[in-house]
Structure formats: structure tokens, C-alpha cells
Amino acid sequence: MAELLAIYNEGAGGADDAARTAAMETLRGSADVIEAPAGQKDLDEMLDAHPGRDVVVLGGDGSLHVVVSALHRRGELGTRTVGLVPLGTGNDFARGLGIPLDPEVAARIVLAGRPQPLDLLVDDEGEVVVNAVHLGIGAEASRRATPLKPALGRLAYGVGGLLAGVWSPGWRLSVTVDGRSLADGRPVLMVGVGNGVTIGGGTPLTPGARPDDGKVDVVVALTTGPMDRLLYALRLRRGTHPDLRDVVTDRGREMTVTGEPVPVNADGELSGPTARHRWTVMPAVWRMFT
């Protein structure tokens, strides 16, 4: 019988309670499961207390990021397989991997026990990215969407993106992928770095990305005019933005961004502004039940 450690945020409340209960009942039907209501501060204590157990995350992209980051820091990514029951607002990594949003179905996938090797992005400070990073308009859109989430839910991401697309002035940045230049100090509206496909609850930032191919997909929007920015925001929602004349894309193992300080959103966490960042792909360094 599988031995699992189920991690969730007990403060989430609301509709998550029923969904989490349903998922836990499914897991307990075929596995030895220990529940661990753990925030970032006490996650290490839970992992210390239950060594060797595979970890099931009952939550969204933010919760998954916290768990994978902890396992990376502890050197346990190679010894514990991660399962995901998507209970977040966006659930973008689950969408990209085809993990069902129904909690009971997702729990059954965990129980089936088929681990898939996946890539991870790591920056120069050792911080990880599971799904995606977006700089510039992407981070600005997330900032504008945050206060709208209670009323609009997943739709808040689209509204925030439209607002940011119209008003953001852009940043002068240099962007390289494996040493190849995608931008050389020109005004940049957005840089997207995708290990997964979507951000913001289904927006296809990097439509061709795969989290198991050993490369990261990069998209750079060199959009400047107000109408062009609005068009970019609209096309981004449909995933057709790479076809625009002022959008460049590439794929590789390492990418860097330097220039004017720009806000950063990594797996839903806002930071910056920062003037330099570099991410490197670690191929097949962790496993998830899919």
C-alpha cells in the first residue's frame, strides 16, 4: 500500500473544504495517508516527521511551488514523488499536464502511481520555478488582478491583463536564450519564461512548452503603441500572440534578462523590480504522478 503525506493549507476554507474531503476519502481508500495541514513555515517539520513518504499537494500552483521548493532545498526531489490535487484558483500546472480539475479524479491519478519525470527552472539564488515566470506586463497584470480575485475568481486574471496591457509603458531590457539575443535594450512590454504552458488560470503564455523536454520556452513582446499593447493582451488570452510581428520566441537551456528594474512573477509570487535575472533548466530532476 502506498504511503502518502497529504499537504494542504487549512486556512483556505470555503469550497475547498468539500473538495479536499472528497479527495482525501478517495486517497484513503487505497493508500496509507497522513494529513499535514502545513504552511511554508512548518512544512519542513512535517517532512522531517514522515521521511520517505511521497507527497500529495492539495492546492494550487502556489502550494505546489512551496512543496517542490522545499524538496529541492532538502535534496529530496529524487526520493519523493509529488502528486497534485488541484484546488487553487488558476491550477495552471495541472492544466498543462492534463491533470483533471475534479479532485476525486485527480486523487485516483495519484493512486495509479505512474510517475513522470519533469524539468525545473532554477535561478542564480537557488530559487525554483515549477510552471512559469513573467516579467513586465505579466507581473503587472497579476498585481492588478489580486484585489479582483474575491469577486471575479479566475476572470480576474483576464481583467488584470487587459488593464496592464493598455497602461504599462514597457522596460528597456536585454534578453538572451543560450547566448542568442532576443532583445538588445529595446523597450519590452513582457518577457514570458514557460516550463508549463499557461498562466493566470488558462492563458497560454508559451503554447508549445513542455515541462519534460529539457528546455524552457521564452516569449518576448516588443510591443510599444497603445493599440498594439491592447492587441497583444487580447491575443495572449487566445495563445496566438507568438504570431504577432513584434513578438519573438525561442527555446533553450538558459535565459537571462538584464536592464531596467522590472517586476517579476514566478509561479504566482510577485517580486522585484529587479535588474538582472537568469534561469537554468534542470532536466528531469523531479517526478509527478500524471
Residues recognised as catalytic: 269
Contact 193, 133 (CB under 8 A): yes
Distances (CA, A) of 170 to 158, 164, 232, 278: 19, 10, 13, 20
Rounded Cα distance between 224 and 15, Å, is 41
Contact 69, 31 (CB under 8 A): no
Residue type, 85: V
Task: Concatenate the DSSP letters of all residues of the chain into one string.
Answer: -EEEEEEE-TT--TTHHHHHHHHHHHHHTTEEEEEEE--TTTHHHHHHHSTT-EEEEEE-HHHHHHHHHHHHHHT-TTT--EEEEE-SSS-HHHHHHT--SSHHHHHHHHHHT-EEEEEEEEETTS-EESSEEEEEHHHHHHHHHGGGHHHHTTHHHHHHHHHHHHH---EEEEEEETTEEEEEEEEESEEEEESSSEETTTEESSTT--TTSS-EEEEEE---SHHHHHHHHHHHHHT-GGGSTTEEEEEESEEEEEEEEEEEEETTEEEEEEEEEEEEEEEEEEEEE-
